[in-house]
Amino acid sequence: MNGTLKRVAVACMVMFGLLMVNVNYLQAVKAEEFREDNRNFRRFFERYENQRGRIIAGNEVLAESVDTDGEIRFERRYRNGRLYAHVLGFFAPESERGIEATENKLLDGTSADLIVRRAVDLITNKPTRGADIELTIDPRAQRAAYEALRRAGRKGAVVALDPKTGAIKAMVSLPTYDPNQLAVPNKGKVAQAYNKLDADPDQPLLNRAIETTYAPGSTFKVVTTAALLEEDDTVGPQTLVDAPQVLDLPGTTVGLPNYAGAACGSGRVTLQFALEKSCNTPFAKIGMELGYEKMKEQAARFGIGEPLQIPLNVAASSIGKKEDQAALAQASIGQRSVQMTPLQMAMVAAAVANDGTVMKPYLVDKVVSPDGDTLDETEPDELSEAMSSDAARKLRQMMVSVVSQGTATAAQIPGISVGGKTGTAETSDNAPPHAWFIGFAPAENPKVAVCVFVQSGAAGDRATGGATAAPVAREVMRAVLQR
Amino acid sequence: MSADAASAVPMTPKRRGAQLFMLAFAIGIIMAAYASVGLGMNGQVPAGMLTYGLGLGGLMLVAYLVLAKFAPWADPLILPLVTLVNGIGLVMIYRIENAPYENGASATQQITWTALGIVMFTVTLLVLRDHRVLQRFTYTAGALGVVLLLLPLLPFIGVELNGARIWINVGFSVQPGEFAKLALVVFFAGYLVAKRNVLALVGRRLLFIDLPRARDLGPVLVVWGISVGILVLQKDLGTSLLLFGGFISMLYIATGRTAWVLIGLLLFVGGAFVAGQIFSHVGDRFEVWLDPGNNEFYTRAAGGSYQLMEGLFGLGSGGILGTGLGQGHPYRIPLAFSDFIFPAVGEELGLTGLMALLMCYALIVERGLRTALAARDPFSKLLAGGLSFILAWQVFIIIGGVTNLIPLTGLVTPFMSQGGSALLANWILIALLVRMSDAARRPPPQAIQDEGLTQVMQR
């Protein structure tokens, strides 16, 4: 029987051989496919297997992963989630948003910067932890901005910058949402919550500070003034400019009036007076005289026209395409097709405050490894030179008088000289205007530049930059300056 | 056997020292794996590690001493290999029990059954001093096997679980099919030794194949009938395939007629085809086998591919090296502690672990077949060959099933799946192999002095 037994032995060998080949095929060749399969819940668990890094602002921990000791090991929690939602974003079961998305590789520890750390963890058998992200946000300023903006209106945005570095001190967008409800480790619940937010006509998911653009209204006159000062360095605050009650627009039958059709002084006023009272006609005329190219060039020097990463994606602002002179006149006062993000307008104010230099705005201050070593620290970076320091000085002087005796008196802070410019932007014929304010303080040594934007309809029909937006800016600046 | 020939045969080394070392090595691996589960899950060595490890070690030491005393020439590798496989199964069940939720795995129960299994092994070795007495119980064993198979069909004590009626409840659950497997192999061996000359007779020659005589088809048809009966009445594809395959292979070993294998294959394929047409669960399994990833099958509530795919996802996530014990999610595979313990091991120990595990099984089978080759009488050859093959066949059916090499049929993974009946039955199977390897490797009595042509009788 040995002959047949040997043949049976060969059959057994073939059976084990087949099993082995098959296991090799499954675990070496097909493994990737099984791992990546959507139905493989292990992908889902893996997301929560390692302790994700924290997101910190000042001394406050804004986002952290909490060990649940359950099947879902670490759950993401946000403290004061509604306050920071648009900056932090959220860590959803299948995707991320905001800083959680842009810094994902550092936070989850897979970044190449952490490769040594991971190797050490592997050897010492310690679980991998992600790096902490320290934001430039000042929690006091953020809270002040949030509270003040909520009082001013339901929809809008606030951005505060350190004009000397570009560090973003506050970034608030309203309406907001609770990122915790989008970070629960349950695909169904998150999808439901997300769809509800996504369908909301008020667009709570939208970061109004950077993701979309609005007509900036009169705040844009700062850009027009900068263009004039750059064009002719003999021009100063006391230079006289034409300020008719209605400006004839070439090629049209309608004229361009001042706000509410009012007169502007005697019809020939100083540049400073025109800015203080926010007259439309002088700036429309200045814009037409300078021409589209010069206006466009000046805008570009403020950074307008280019998208940015801070590291969140910032939509590109624009002054619109070249049209006729009538269109240019309207563009010069921030109407027509001029479209700005609130961050861009904060950058304009910051450039004026910082002697004409635009610093690249940024949100991430430091990346800190789990054991406390600083892996990366953002160096302030110049984005562009918007104007000469002389022009900036003149513009600063004029903006200070806008706050001290012009349309923006509501932005005054006792004992500190504040510079600013209001804007009340018409959106369409019958809709209420957007209310804007851009400014900086203290004027002699600026520590903060700010932009407040209250969206059309959010603060009633009578919203104006001076009455609605300027007080918000005052609160934010006071918080940053700790006054 | 002449004296010259006998003296030319070198003394087979007993290799008891090697066996003791291998046993200690196996226990060491198991304890390390046990500690690794704890470290992987919560960074602590499980409290019971030393108790369980030493307990298992003590039991193995007793088994070893009994083996050394009562089967001194036994194959040195079988016991350590089986210990290792059983231990890895134990560790895996312990790991699956420690899941975030209740899932039916119970390491304590399995440890108890393992201990009982080792006791059964020892008792079998003690009681059965010569396995050839089993030949005398050929028909008793056959009758016992059939009765055991029929037990789950009886009212009151028969229990249907997970769609198959293979359990009886006598205070605790028993799966009599596992014991029936042993009884039937004993019966097949005894029966075929007696009838093999008749069954080997050639009837007519068709093409290149010598067909057996038509009247000799009887026994094959009877076993086939029983297999189909299991399939129909108990809805147990696995056992049906196991028994029929086992019988055909033994028939082949005994007669050397390839025709029997072909006839068996035809009968089985025919039976399976008809069953697939009649019973939806058989057809479903086949459909799933062809395209397990199909979402339609994945989401199908009954007879779908969910369990199979979960196992494959586990294997995929394990990859080459595995997640490490205690660090994967094997408990998410339904029945990970029983039928699907193999993919569960694959997830945490990876391809590396599975290859080692398959190698262990292959070596056990190889030692068994070697015993069959070395055995000196046809009954021992058939019994050892049959037991070895049926072990390999069972491993192939269940592991091939859960890795989608062949359609999935439920069977116990020998020595690994949670369940007392299978553990006891398989430990007895190993005791039989060890007993036979002792007989096969025992050197023939040596002549005290050269007595010329005096014949040495060997019982």
Please answer yes or no on whether A9 and B366 come within 8 Å at the CB atom: yes
Q: What is the pLDDT of residues B239-266, one digit of tens each?
A: 888 988 999 999 899 988 888 888 888 9
What residues of chain B, 229 to 268, have a C-beta less than 8 Å from chain A? 249, 252-256
Query: Are B396 and A19 within 8 A, CB to CB?
Result: yes
Q: Are B6 and B456 in contact (CB under 8 A)?
A: yes
Question: What does R_g of chain B's alpha carbons equal in angstroms?
Answer: 23
* Of residues A1, A3, A9, nearest to B378 (C-beta): A1
Contact between A40 and B316 using a beta-carbon 8 Å cutoff = yes
Q: What is the structure's pLDDT at A163?
A: 93
Residues of A with Cβ-Cβ distance to B361 under 8 angstroms? 16
Task: Please list every residue in chain A whose beta carbon sits closer than 8 Å to the beta carbon of residue B355.
Answer: 20, 23-24
Query: In chain B, count of helices (H) and strands (E)?
Result: 16, 5
**pLDDT reported for residue B454:** 58
Q: Is residue A252 part of a domain?
A: yes
pLDDT at res. A2: 87
Closest CA to A283 of A151, A177, A398, A170: A398
What is the per-residue pLDDT across A222-250, written as a single tens digit (0 to 9) for each?
A: 999 999 999 888 888 888 888 888 888 88
What pLDDT does B3 receive?
Answer: 44
Here the tokens at position B66 are: 């009994």
Residue A9 counted as domain residue:
no
Are A311 and A185 within 8 A, CB to CB? no
- Which of A15, A48, A50 has the most B C-beta neighbours within 10 Å, making it the best mutation to test the interface with B? A15
Is residue A342 situated within a structural domain?
yes
Best residue in B39, B241, B253 for a mutation probing chain A (most A CBs within 10 Å): B253
Instruction: Return the pLDDT at B238.
Output: 85
Closest among A67, A91, A93, A69 to A78, alpha carbons compared = A91
Q: Is residue A355 part of a domain?
A: yes
Instruction: Please tell me which of the candidates B293, B298, B315 has its beta carbon nearest to residue A27.
Output: B315
For residue range B396-438, list pLDDT tens digits in order. 999 999 999 999 888 899 999 998 899 999 999 999 999 999 9
| Cross-chain CB nearest to A26 (options B100, B315, B328) | B315
Nearest CA in chain B to A38: B313
**pLDDT mean over B329-354:** 92
Give the DSSP H/E element, type plus range, for residue A354.
none
Residue B5's pLDDT band (cuts 50, 70, 90): very low
Q: Say if the Cβ atoms of B400 and A71 lie within 8 Å.
A: no
A240 within some domain:
yes
Asked whether residue B6 carries a pLDDT value surpassing 60, the answer given is no
CB contact under 8 A, B400 and A28: no
**Res A50: pLDDT:** 81
Chain A residues touching B304 at Cβ < 8 A: none
Instruction: Give the other-Cβ count within 10 Å of B12's Cβ.
Output: 12
The pLDDT of residue B373: 94
pLDDT score for A297: 92
Contact B313 A37 (CB under 8 A): yes
Check B392 against A12: CB less than 8 A apart. yes
Residue A144, pLDDT score = 92
Q: How confident is the model at residue B95 (pLDDT cuts 50, 70, 90)?
A: very high
| Distances in whole angstroms, Cα of residue A380 to Cα of each of A311, A363, A377 | 14, 11, 10
- How far is Cα A469 from Cα A411, in angstroms, rounded to an integer? 9
* Chain-chain contact of A5 with B405 (C-beta, under 8 angstroms): no
Peptide bond into A442 cis (omega under 30): yes
User: Does residue A61 form part of some domain?
Assistant: no
Nearest CA in chain B to A43: B317
What's the CA gap between B216 and B212, in Å, rounded? Answer: 7
> DSSP alpha helices (H): ranges in A264-388?
271-276, 280-290, 292-301, 325-332, 342-353
- pLDDT value at position B457? 60
Which pLDDT score, from 0 to 100, does residue B4 have?
Answer: 46
| DSSP type of residue A179 | G
ipTM of the prediction greater than 0.90, yes or no: yes
Q: Do B74 and B437 meet the contact criterion of CB atoms below 8 Å apart? A: yes
Long-range contacts of B143-148 (CB under 8 A, 24+ apart): B144/B180, B144/B183, B145/B180, B145/B181, B145/B183, B145/B184, B145/B187, B146/B180, B146/B226, B148/B176, B148/B177, B148/B179, B148/B180, B148/B183
Cβ-contact A423, A465 below 8 angstroms:
yes
Render pLDDT for A63-112 as a digit per residue (tens, 0 to 9).
888 888 777 888 899 999 899 999 999 998 888 899 999 998 888 888 77
pLDDT at residue B402 in the model: 94
What is the distance between the alpha carbons of residues A221 and A340, in angstroms, rounded to a whole number?
13
Please report, for the domain that includes residue A231, its CATH number.
Answer: 3.40.710.10
Residues of A with CB under 8 A from a CB of B: 1-9, 11-13, 15-16, 18-20, 22-24, 26-28, 30-35, 37, 39-42, 45, 70-71, 125
Distance in angstroms (rounded) separating the CA atoms of residues A38 and A32: 12
Residues B53 and B90: their CA atoms lie apart, in Å, by: 11
Nearest to B369 among A12, A26, A125 (CB): A12
| Active-site residue list of A | 218
Strands A255-257 and A240-242: unpaired
Cα distances (Å, whole numbers) of residue A225 to A161, A236, A417, A440, B100: 22, 10, 20, 17, 67
Q: Which of B298, B378, B385 sits opposite A8 (nearest CB)?
A: B385
Q: Give the DSSP per-residue string, A181-222.
A: GGSSS-HHHHHHHHHHHHH-TT-TTS-TTTSS-B--GGGGHH
Query: What is the reported pLDDT for B234?
Result: 80
Count of domains for chain B: 1
Give the range of the structural domain holding residue A312, as residue numbers without chain letter.
Answer: 217-362+382-481
CB–CB contacts below 8 A, A to B = 140
- In this prediction, residue B1 carries a pLDDT of 40
pLDDT digits (tens, 9 = 90+) for B265-286: 898 888 888 877 877 777 888 8
Query: Does B285 reside within a domain?
Result: no
B359-377: average pLDDT: 95
For residue A146, what pLDDT is reported?
Answer: 94
Residue B439 lies inside a defined structural domain of this protein: no
Domain residue limits at B218: 135-278
Tell me which amino acid residue A334 is.
G
Write out chain A residues lying below 8 Å of B385, CB-based.
Answer: 1, 5, 8
Q: What is the pLDDT of residue A114?
A: 76
Residues 6+ apart with CB under 8 A from A25: none
CA A86 to chain centre: 9
SS3 content of chain B, % helix, strand, coil (to 5): 70, 5, 25
Report the domain count for chain A.
1
Nearby residues of A202 by Cβ (< 8 Å), 6 or more positions away: A154, A155, A175
Residue B209 pLDDT: 67
CA distances from A356 to A86, A229, A384, B113 (A): 29, 12, 9, 83
Q: Is B403 touching A (CB cutoff 8 A)?
A: yes
Residue A135 belongs to a domain: no
Query: How much helix, strand and coil, in percent to the nearest 5, is found in chain A?
Result: 40, 20, 35
> Does the beta-carbon distance from A5 to B256 stay under 8 Å?
no
Tell me what the mean pLDDT of segment B318-338 comes to.
Answer: 89
Taking a C-beta distance cutoff of 8 angstroms, is the pair A144, A170 a contact? yes
Q: Which of B101, B350, B369 sits opposite A5 (nearest CB)?
A: B369
Q: How far is the alpha carbon of B160 from chain A, nearest alpha carbon, in Å?
A: 30
Q: Between these two residues, B41 and A228, which has the higher pLDDT value? A: A228
B115 domain residue, yes or no: no
Determine whether the interchain pair B316/A35 forms a contact, defined as Cβ–Cβ distance below 8 Å: yes
Mean pLDDT of chain B: 86
Tens digit of pLDDT per residue, chain A (483 long)?
Answer: 789 999 999 999 999 999 999 999 999 999 999 988 888 888 888 788 888 889 999 889 998 888 887 778 888 999 998 999 999 999 988 888 999 999 988 888 887 777 777 777 777 767 778 889 999 999 999 999 999 998 888 899 999 999 999 999 999 998 999 999 998 888 888 899 999 999 998 899 999 999 999 999 899 999 999 999 998 888 888 888 888 888 888 877 777 888 777 778 788 889 999 998 888 889 988 998 898 999 999 999 999 988 899 899 999 999 888 888 888 888 888 888 899 999 999 999 999 999 999 999 999 999 988 888 888 889 999 999 999 999 999 999 999 999 998 888 888 899 899 999 998 888 776 778 888 999 998 988 999 999 999 987 766 767 788 888 899 999 999 999 987
Q: With an 8 Å Cβ cutoff, is B331 touching chain A? A: no
Using CA coordinates, name the residue in chain A closest to B349: A27
* Closest residue in A to B251 (Cα–Cα): A4
Of the candidates B208, B211, B241, B201, the residue with the CA atom closest to the CA atom of residue B224: B241
Assigned domain for B381 exists:
no
- The string over A265-274, giving b where at least 16 C-beta atoms fall within 10 Å of a residue's C-beta and e elsewhere, is eeeebbbbbb
Q: Which of A7, A12, A34 sits opposite B313 (nearest CB)?
A: A34
Burial B389-401 (b: 16+ CB within 10 A, else e): bbbbbbbbbbbbb
A43 to chain B, closest Cα gap in Å:
9
- Pairing of β A448-454 and β A156-161: antiparallel
Compute the distance between CA of residue A60 and CA of residue A139 in angstroms, rounded to an integer.
7
Residue B305 or residue A114, greater confidence: B305
Give the single-character DSSP code of A318: B
- The pLDDT assigned to A426 comes to 80
CB atoms within 10 A of CB B45: 14
User: Which B residues, 103 through 162, put their C-beta within 8 Å of a C-beta on chain A?
Assistant: none
In B, minimum Cα distance to A24 occurs at B351
A341 three-class SS = coil
Determine, yes or no, domain membership for A316: yes
B312:A34 CB<8 A:
yes
**Cβ-Cβ contacts under 8 Å, B377 against chain A:** none
